Amino acid sequence: MHQGIAGRLLEISNKVQAACYQAQRSKEEIKLVAVSKLQSVDVINEAYALGINNFGENYAQELAEKSLACPKDIIWHFIGPIQSNKVSLIAKYANWVHSIDREKVARKLNDALETEGKKIHALVQVNIDREESKSGILAEEAVDFTNELIVHYPNLILEGLMFMPKITASKKAKMDTMNKIMDLQQLLSSKIPSCSHLSLGTSSDFEESILSGSTILRIGESLLGKRS
Ligand SMILES: *Cc1c(COP(=O)(O)O)cnc(C)c1O
């Protein structure tokens, strides 16, 4: 079972390639983000040495610590829920943020970025399954919300949408969700052509997500190993 990061990366790359072939898409359109939450700096350095340079973190403090300890040319993606008292850490250490899910957070992040004198690539998180417990804005609000952010918060470079679909048992429900996501992303990019990214797909569903138009895969355990 223990084939190491190199072996797992090869396996994932082969699956990505096969899914791209099936979807008639170019592999170059797809960015792989290694989700390194709760993984050690050694694990990140090992993956980096294999050529991975996009990493995803869920906790602001952990992001800050790892960013300081790891190679400087790593591109950091903040993918976790954003607490408004942590926006300054995110503004300082992240290059991308996938989880913009309310106006207040966007405003605070924009202000913190102003202080830092930088901009960040941003995705709007959508709650596609309409789960009460889940963060994210509703699908029918996604286009207007994105527009509002573009108008009011110039330090956020809006790039598209992020989804964390429910891991459902039924294949049919999953297909329905994937189709909804694809339609919404197409609607958004038809209205705002610069919003061409779709962050979708984890260890358990990245191949389907490529068929649904994902451009950013967030893969944790199946690449870096079990989280401690
Ligand atoms: C942890 C996490 C992932 C990665 O999940 P794996 O099952 O380890 O691939 C992806 N996206 C988000 C938002 C996460 O929190």
HSE (side-chain half, CA atoms, 13 Å) at 90: 33
List of the chain residues with pLDDT < 50: 1
Q: Flag whether 193 is in a domain.
A: yes
Residue from 16, 31, 35 whose mutation best tests the ligand 1 pocket (most atoms within 8 A of CB):
35
Ligand 1, CB cutoff 6 Å, lining residues: 35, 37, 58, 79-80, 164, 202-204, 218-222
pLDDT of residue 170: 84
Q: Give the long-range contacts of residues 65-71, CB within 8 A, separation 24 or more.
A: 66/36, 66/41, 67/93, 69/41, 70/41, 70/44, 70/45, 71/45
In ligand 1, the atom with minimum distance to the C-alpha of 227 is 8
pLDDT of residue 171: 83
Q: Flag whether 228 is in a domain.
A: no
Q: For residues 146 and 136, give the distance between their C-alpha atoms in angstroms, rounded to a whole number.
A: 12
pLDDT of residue 168: 72
Domain count, the chain: 1
Summarised one tens digit per residue, pLDDT across range 160-183 is 999 998 877 688 888 899 999 999
Residue 100: give the domain boundaries: 5-221
Q: Flag whether 226 is in a domain.
A: no
Residue from 32, 52, 78, 79 whose mutation best tests the ligand 1 pocket (most atoms within 8 A of CB):
79
pLDDT of residue 133: 74
Summarised one tens digit per residue, pLDDT across range 92-101 is 999 999 999 9
CATH code for position 119: 3.20.20.10
Q: Flag whether 92 is in a domain.
A: yes
Q: Flag whether 158 is in a domain.
A: yes
